[in-house]
A and B are shown apart, each in its own frame.
Chain A
Amino acid sequence: MFTFLIDEELKLLQIEDLSVDIEGRRIIEGLRLIVEEGESHVLLGPNGSGKSSLLMTILGYPKYKVKTGTILFKGVDITDLPTTDRVKLGVGILFQHPPAVRGVRLGDMINVALGNKSEEIYTLEVTELAEELKFNSDFLERDVNLGFSGGEVKRSEIMQLVAQNPDFIMFDEPDSGVDVENVELIGGVMSELLDRDKRPSARKKSGLIITHLGFIMNFVKVDRAHVMLGGKIACSGDPKEIMSEIMSDGYERCVRSCQN
């Protein structure tokens, strides 16, 4: 009975009353967000509304100081855990602007994402994965993100995520700076990663996707949309309805109509 109850109430990601400072400046204020297992949500909102900061806070980047509230993941309070431990619990991310790391090849990154030791030379497993995703094997030999084009960054990030296969994946603007062809390819892989092709009850993976124009939603079906404004989730609802309101009336009015 007791176990049943816990299971019933267990949310994959549960954020309550979250306030975050970066360099002494409040960027997230009293935020609440719940993502259930098997669900994928989009996060909309104007520049500077705190979307990326929320992702970095969930990931545990030290620059983002949690001042109030808690982040529960799989029932574990991860609010003060280091990034590595969160990742080990099943948190993953696609970065919008990942740093270039000289001398560390994309193949090495994928090796790490597969859970192999960092000093191991990457194996056939990596090469096969690259082939599956139609990547040239030369691409694996390049220093990660060094001189990558916008599309290459996205593809490299996606490949690392496929290798890592996290339970909860955050995507920071997967559709920005990428041509249509690549968005389709990325959207396809995202749908697979997020179990979107399975029937709802069989979906285990969850996602939180930041998108500016909602373009990626043409390729990835999502369950719920949230609009962030001034460091809060100002409004949540059906993705299509919210998107169309934003498109016709802008963020502010969408939020106002949502709150009335």
Chain B
Amino acid sequence: MSELEKAKKAKSKPAAFGTDVDLEKYSLDADDHSTLSSMDELPEEIQEVLPMCGVNPTGKSRSGSFFQLDHSVMLSDSTSKTIELMSMPDALEKHNFLKGYVWNAVPVDTDKYTARTELNQTNGYFIRSIPGSKETFPLQACLFIGKQGLSQNVHNIIIAEEDSELNIITGCSVSHNVTSALHLGVSEFYVKKNAKVTFTMVHNWAKDMEIRPRTGIIVEDGGTFISNYVCMEPLKSLQQNPKAYCTGENSRVTFQSILYASEKSKMDVGSTVFLKGKGSKTEIMSRAISTGEGEIIARGHLVGESPDVKGHLECRGLILSDSSGIHAIPELEARTQNLELSHEAAVGKIAEEEVLYLMSRGLSEDEATSMIVRGFLNVDISGLPEELAKETKKMIKMSMEKAL
């Protein structure tokens, strides 16, 4: 059966998790937007939002920039000789081999969202680093929604060829006038032998947005994949559970998520790692804060399928209001002997003892609380190049300041 037929059959298949989105509510039609030669040609109001999700409109300290508004790819410009960057339709036209990568890490019939992405794909990016290359500056990609009620259905493919290193920052955001829209994003990552990918994503949506990303990652021998995900702004619902397959020997995967569910946000965010390759390792870490009427389901699922694998899952949640909630669901699944899977989960309100401790050094109750919240979200970002780690921390801090 072709991918298209599979997609047609899965058209109304509900997702395993999350509230069901009424796809008919969202329009597939959007105006065309003309291409740019640089992001600083974008309207002021869009440029203003970009730094909030890690995107630098000047393109400074970046090895390339991709910008998509609604369905139009307005900019796709790699300044690096070793990184290919283009829209998915262009890439499919250029590279015959790419067909073998499409719907290979994420099954097309996963649910109605992947099905819609196949049936009504609206661009997305293709990023590929050539074998043995290492680009120190990160590449930035921004998926932006400017039309109220739109359904943006992107499909991205990222390939890090053997022995290459690829650092990516993605930011997703909306115009000031957009309150409601649907974002479907399929991302398939292929981390080849001894390659390394760091992927830092900041979501900066609006309060009636529904978000359903679908992500699959395949990591080969000695490969490393590191994901940092930050979502601090209110939205209607977000559900994602990227699946990483450590197929290679000694492959490594790290997921770090920072979630802040305020107002009426519903977030169901998890990470799943299949440890298939001998000696593969993973670490999943999440920090979740709920306030207002926010609800978070923080999932984590480790599956050990071969000997000598090691996985650890850490989930910490802080509840700041009585009408909000956090539900941590850590899962460990062992399929063979000689492996090590562990988890650590702690959910609760701010410890009064800690607040009082800070107050005893002269802070007011509010100052003490906010310092503890900041500290809670102040995670160590490991594995990123030093400059990028610094920048990411700054980025997290910025979205934190905005949210708190």
Contacts and interface: CB of A to CB of B under 8 A. Distances in A.
Size class of the B contact interface (CB-based, 8 Å)? 20 to 34
A195 B356 CA distance: 27
Given A103-B377, A118-B367, A119-B374, A61 B356 contact: yes
Consensus secondary structure, chain B interface: helix
A99 B357 contact: yes
B372 A88 contact: no
A164 B372 contact: no
A185 interface: no
A118 B371 contact: yes
A98 B356 CA distance: 10
A112 B357 contact: no
Nearest to B375: A103
A93 B359 CA distance: 11
Interface stretch (A38-46, A65-73, A79-87, A218-226): A79-87
Contact of B362 (A59, A61, A87, A95): A87
Contacts of A82: 359, 365
Contacts of B374: 103-104, 119
Nearest to A118: B371
Contacts, number: 73
A102 interface: yes
Contact of A112 (B356, B363, B376, B379): B363
Contact of A160 (B351, B356, B361): B361
Interface string A88-124: 1000110100110111100011001101001100000
B361 A164 contact: yes
A164 B359 contact: no
A40 to B, nearest CB: 20
Contacts of A59: 360
A164 B374 CA distance: 22
B285 to A, nearest CB: 12
B48 interface: no
A84 B371 contact: no
A113 B316 CA distance: 28
B370 interface: yes
A112 B353 contact: no
A98 B357 CA distance: 7
B378 interface: yes
A161 B353 CA distance: 18
B361 A101 contact: no
Nearest to A110: B361
A119 B361 contact: no
8 cross-chain pairs, A with B, having the tightest CB-CB distances, nearest first: A103-B375, A104-B375, A103-B378, A118-B371, A83-B359, A99-B353, A113-B361, A87-B362
Given A103-B376, A119-B374, 9 more contacts: A84-B364, A102-B376, A104-B358, A108-B371, A112-B363, A113-B362, A118-B367, A118-B370, A119-B370
Interface of A: 59, 61-62, 82-84, 87-88, 92-93, 95, 98-99, 101-104, 108-109, 112-113, 115, 118-119, 143, 160, 164
24 contacts: A59-B360, A61-B356, A83-B356, A83-B360, A92-B360, A93-B360, A95-B360, A98-B357, A99-B353, A101-B354, A101-B358, A101-B372, A102-B316, A103-B372, A103-B378, A104-B358, A104-B375, A108-B371, A108-B375, A109-B358, A112-B371, A113-B362, A119-B371, A164-B361
